[in-house]
Amino acid sequence: DQQVKQNSPSLSVQEGRISILNCDYTNSMFDYFLWYKKYPAEGPTFLISISSIKDKNEDGRFTVFLNKSAKHLSLHIVPSQPGDSAVYFCAASASDYGQNFVFGPGTRLSVLP
Amino acid sequence: DVKVTQSSRYLVKRTGEKVFLECVQDMDHENMFWYRQDPGLGLRLIYFSYDVKMKEKGDIPEGYSVSREKKERFSLILESASTNQTSMYLCASTGDEAYGYTFGSGTRLTVV
């Protein structure tokens, strides 16, 4: 049973518009969340994080929102650019579990010019 | 500036062969991880290590073993490769949980 879910395997967005990638989790012990971006034939790279003491974290065009009661987080990319086309993984960890992160299955984002 | 290096980008091996995947990090990280990535399944943890000569099983350790003789090197071993081990293998290390993992570029292994 997946503890971290990304229910949209793929998403297509027009350049300049907003991309919204969603992630749901089931383990209420998770208190730290990351988004990774992965291009083909490369390893995932860290994008943005959020701690459970916050409900929003912003870094340039990227904003992550956390809704603890719904066990849901989302990544917003505004404006979307063709270079954002990649697979995005949501990952979660719990302080009590050390530094192991549980990853979602990923969402493939395609930004169309 | 490469920080986590996986020795091979592409590898083709025969069923039954013993396969070694090497990973080296130059960030003096204590924690190292091996994942495999498969479509629709995301990244699944095979093994991890918090210290030299220390190893812990992840979610899918069957058919794999690991070795960590030096802090900077974490090796994944497929004792007898099988076709269901065809996958992308990703090594990662971390020293600062705030930024999660630093991943290598991955090794795409095909077992025929």
CATH code at position B69:
2.60.40.10
Closest residue by Cα to residue A5 from A75, A102, A84, A93: A102
For A56, the domain range is 4-97
Residue A111 belongs to a domain? no
The number of folded domains in chain A is 1
Closest residue by Cα to residue B59 from A14, A53, A4, A95: A4
CATH code at position A28:
2.60.40.10
Interface check for B42 against chain A (CB to CB < 8 A): the answer is: yes
Q: What is the pLDDT along chain A (113 residues), one digit of tens a residue?
A: 679 999 999 999 999 999 999 999 999 999 999 999 999 878 999 999 999 999 999 999 999 999 999 999 999 999 999 999 999 999 999 876 666 788 999 999 999 99
Chain A environment of B104 (Cβ under 8 Å): 43
User: Cα separation of A56 and A75, whole Å?
Assistant: 10
Interface check for B31 against chain A (CB to CB < 8 A): the answer is: yes
pLDDT in tens, B86-99: 999 999 998 766 66
For B94, the domain range is 4-111
Residue A41's contacts (CB-CB under 8 Å, 6 or more residues apart) are B9, B105, B106, B108
Residue A36 belongs to a domain? yes
Question: Which of 37-76 (A) contact B at CB < 8 A?
Answer: 41-46, 49
The number of folded domains in chain B is 1
